[in-house]
Amino acid sequence: MNRLFITLSLLFVSGLSLATPLKGAVTSPEPGILCDKKAGFCADSQGISMAYTQKFLGGKAGMKLLAMGQFDMTTFTLTNGVHCEVKPQKCMVSKLSDKVDADHTKALFGK
């Protein structure tokens, strides 16, 4: 029993240390995916994704995204202020900054 508890505890702690620290309502439920629960969308390295939005945030979030109509899904700003662009594969600390946000860039683009 104690050995199992120790093993599970070590797995849990090591999992936490590997997680990318993201800010605000932004999470990375899988490698290469960012989800913004507050904004109601998820994105991958190709941009905002209807499929991942529905998978991780639910059908309501997907319907809201669909209702927005057509827009450029390759550039987006998260509710924590981080701005991501697919073409250069970078997330910046804000839309008006040239400073790369390493944590968000790594979580989304793997670099």
Single out the residue of 29, 93, 17, 97 nearest to residue 58, CA to CA.
29
* Residue 103 in tokens: 């944590």
Instruction: Name, in order, each residue with C-beta under 8 angstroms of 16's C-beta and a sequence gap of 6 or more.
Output: none
For the chain, the structural domain boundaries read 20-109
Q: Which amino acid is at 90?
A: K
pLDDT, one tens digit per residue, over 63-110 is 998 888 888 999 999 999 999 999 999 999 999 999 999 999 999 999
The model's pLDDT over 38-65, given as tens digits with 9 standing for 90+, comes to 999 999 999 999 999 999 999 899 899 8
Of the two residues 13 and 64, the one the predictor is more confident about is 64
Tell me the H-state helices in the chain: 2-18, 50-57, 59-67, 102-109
Cβ atoms of 101 and 93 closer than 8 Å: yes
Measured distance CA(107)–CA(111) in Å, rounded: 8
pTM of the prediction? Answer: 0.79
Q: Residue 6: pLDDT band by 50, 70, 90 thresholds? A: very low
